Amino acid sequence: MTNVAVQMIGYCIILVLLAIPLGNYIAKVMNGERVFLSGILRPAERGIYRLLKIDENEDMDWKKYSVCTAVFSVFSLFVLWFILCFQKFLPMNPQGTGNMSWHLGFNTAASFATNTNWQAYSGESALSYFSQMVGLNFQNFVSAAVGIVVLFALIRGFVRVKKTGLGNFYADMTRTVLYVLIPLSVIVSLVIASQGTPQTFSRYEETELLEPVTVEHEDGTETVVTKQVIPLGPAASQIAIKQLGTNGGGFFGNNSAHPFENPTPLSNLFEMVSLLLIPAALCFTFGRNVRDKRQGIAIFLAMFILLAVSLAIVGAAEQSGTPQISQNGAVYTGTDGQSGGNMEGKETRFGIASSTTWAVFTTAASNGSVNSMHDSYTPIGGMIPMLLMQLGGGGVRWDGLRTLRDDRVCRSDGVYRRIDGGPDAGVSVQEDRTL
């Protein structure tokens, strides 16, 4: 049990240490300030504006910002739907994968365009490389960016006193993808690729089995299997943004429990921290932009306390195992080579601590990726992720947590002021500023 607690605490410490500087960095990106990547990426950013005829200085009101958000998302949905339904005729399909049915294609497109990432298919058998990389991976970036820029608009609505504009949707999207999502994804992709996650456009490989396997069919016939197909593809690049963008849709059917998608404890560490890195960082982005860091810290602590309690309960429940089975003689004591606890549905390379921490992180963030099977958890261990699912989609997101802030401040003369008489939350009554 001590080992489980130490690992969980270690994951949380790493998360906090990375989230604070990242939050300040995202705040600068939101405000259009110069960051250390500006010298490299600013020319590309300007090129995108020129190509798409975007005026980055245009200040959209809430109606135009909302319309642009909706139109962009709907357009992305239909483009992805087209790709999935006609992938057989598109390039980068070395396996000759057929088209998706129109209804499964629409379900998948709607899911990825809305950052839901519900999957009713197995990626290695149902999708071409083009569909995975150009279709789904593109949506992993832009659907995550849409959620972030909507938060940017919300923050500007809090802090702007006289102006009615909320910024420029397309400029916010471009900056978020270029300066935040792509650099982080490159780092995570390189790490997990170094651990064994495939990143290739080669065809699937076939290998001879050490021993033939006989498969019995319902009609009484038998088939002897002597070869196994090893799926490949540009997986590392998709898995990185799958985690960072709280998307969750895996490249392979078994998601991050698959040995190619999450090969080692080190890849597991990077993928798991990526789950909550940006959501946690946005707390500090909020505090910096309303000029009251205590508000960002308060919101972070509100979420972190729920997270810590959930980790403790799930970790204890899974390490203790199922009482009914213990009564029948099962031994849950950990020894060398045996982690103890309820290992059903968990990968031996991760054990109890990494599996339960991932389960809490992914449901708290409404991510959906898994490295263990939650249905195999103990009753209490499975109850907490189910509870977090009800909070992760709305309670932990910023539109839900707006209530937390409004409990501490009141609207007065167009300025948010603290109810307890402390310093003003957000900007002062001076001139309006674009933060």
What per-residue confidence (pLDDT) applies to 425?
42
Per-residue pLDDT for the chain (435 aa), expressed as one digit of tens each?
Answer: 577 889 899 999 999 999 999 999 999 999 999 999 999 999 999 999 999 999 999 999 999 999 999 999 999 999 999 999 999 999 999 999 999 999 999 999 999 999 989 999 999 999 999 999 999 999 999 999 999 999 999 999 888 877 778 999 999 999 999 999 999 999 999 999 999 999 999 999 999 999 999 999 888 899 999 999 999 999 999 999 999 999 999 999 999 999 999 999 999 999 999 999 999 999 999 999 998 999 999 999 999 999 999 999 999 999 888 777 767 666 666 555 566 788 889 999 998 999 999 999 999 988 889 999 999 999 999 999 999 988 765 333 555 455 445 544 444 444 444 434 444 444 433 333 333
Residue 213 within any structural domain of the chain: yes
Strands 222-230 and 409-412: unpaired
Residue 122 within any structural domain of the chain: yes
What per-residue confidence (pLDDT) applies to 407?
45
Q: How far is it, in rounded angstroms, from Cα 10 to Cα 279? A: 18
What is the largest distance, in Å, between two alpha-carbon atoms of the chain? 83
What per-residue confidence (pLDDT) applies to 161?
77
Tokens of 28: 């600068």
Which residue has 């998608």 as its token pair? 261
| 3-class state of residue 424 by DSSP | coil
Which residue has 């497109």 as its token pair? 109
What per-residue confidence (pLDDT) applies to 374?
93
Q: How far is it, in rounded angstroms, from Cα 247 to Cα 238? A: 10
Count of domains forming the chain: 1
Task: Give the residue from 314, 352, 313, 350 showing the smallest Cα distance to 332.
Answer: 352
Residue 433 within any structural domain of the chain: no
Contact 372, 347 (CB under 8 A): yes
Q: How far is it, in rounded angstroms, from Cα 5 to Cα 312? A: 8
Q: How far is it, in rounded angstroms, from Cα 418 to Cα 294? A: 12
Q: Which amino acid is located at 31 in the chain?
A: N
Q: Which helix (H) or strand (E) holds 62?
A: helix 62-85
Residue 179 within any structural domain of the chain: yes
Which residue has 């608009």 as its token pair? 153
List CB contacts of 388: < 8 A, sequence separation 6 or more.
306, 310, 360, 363, 364
Give the side-chain half-sphere CA count within 13 A for 373. 12
Q: If phi over 0 gives left and psi between -120 and 50 gives alpha, with beta otherwise, what is residue 284?
A: alpha
Contact 402, 331 (CB under 8 A): no
Residue 135's domain comprises 2-418
Q: Give the single-character DSSP code of 96.
A: -
Q: Global pTM?
A: 0.88
Q: Distance from first CA to last CA of the chain, Å, rounded?
A: 47
- What is the chain's Cα-based Rg? 24
Q: How far is it, in rounded angstroms, from Cα 59 to Cα 164? A: 9
Residues in the chain: 435
Q: Computed from CA positions of residues 373, 378, 383, 384, in that sequence, does the dihedral angle turn out positive or negative?
A: negative
Contact 268, 257 (CB under 8 A): no
Residue 205 within any structural domain of the chain: yes
| Integer CA distances (angstroms), 9 to 60, 67, 307, 312, in order | 43, 43, 11, 10
Where helices occur in 97-252 by DSSP H, the ranges are 102-113, 123-126, 129-130, 138-159, 169-175, 182-194, 235-244
What per-residue confidence (pLDDT) applies to 427?
40
Residue 430 within any structural domain of the chain: no
Phi/psi for 161 (5° steps) reads -95, -50
Angle, in degrees to the nearest 10, between helices 265-289 and 293-320? 150
Phi/psi for 207 (5° steps) reads -135, 150
Q: What is the 3-state secondary structure (H, E, C) of 338-388?
A: ECCCCCCCECCCCHHHHHHHHHHHHHHCCCCCCCECHHHCCHHHHHHHHHH
Residue 162 within any structural domain of the chain: yes
